[in-house]
Amino acid sequence: MKEREEESKRQKQQKLSEEAEAKRLAAESAKREEARIRKEIEEKELEEARMLLAEAERKKGKKGKKTAVDSVRYSEAAKPSCSFLMNTPNWTGIFKFSFRM
């Protein structure tokens, strides 16, 4: 009888240990899953922030809205052959233009 009681007590203790281990593993798994999800969210937010910064830098470099042709300047090689333009002191100023929207 005493041996049966000890065996029963040992089995109960083992069952309690197994249940506690199962709970611990479930909690650990849930914790890892939460950490994984949090990390994914942080990485996504970081990537979005990088994209916004890149967009801001790109816009900053443009210094305002520009269309396909913002300004055109001709070099000396592209100097016009028309005599009235060649005698103009600032002939390149004639060809400067810009489109803004």
71 and 51: one domain?
no
User: Is the CB of residue 96 less than 8 Å from the CB of residue 72?
Assistant: yes
45 and 3: one domain?
yes
> What length does the chain have?
101
Q: What local confidence, expressed as pLDDT, does residue 61 receive?
A: 76
Q: What local confidence, expressed as pLDDT, does residue 7 receive?
A: 93
User: Measured at the alpha carbon of residue 63, what is the angle toward residues 61 and 66, in degrees to the nearest 5?
Assistant: 100
Q: What local confidence, expressed as pLDDT, does residue 63 receive?
A: 63
57 and 72: one domain?
no
15 and 54: one domain?
yes
pLDDT tens, the chain, 101 aa long: 888 899 999 999 999 999 999 999 999 999 999 999 999 999 999 999 999 999 888 888 776 555 444 444 444 445 445 545 455 555 454 444 444 54
19 and 43: one domain?
yes
48 and 80: one domain?
no
59 and 96: one domain?
no
User: Is the CB of residue 101 less than 8 Å from the CB of residue 70?
Assistant: no
Range of the domain at 32: 1-64
User: Is the CB of residue 85 less than 8 Å from the CB of residue 95?
Assistant: no
Q: Which residues contact 71 (CB under 8 A, 6 or more apart)?
A: 96, 97, 98
53 and 72: one domain?
no
- When divided into structural domains, the chain yields a total of 2
49 and 75: one domain?
no
Start-to-end CA distance of the chain, whole Å, equals 97
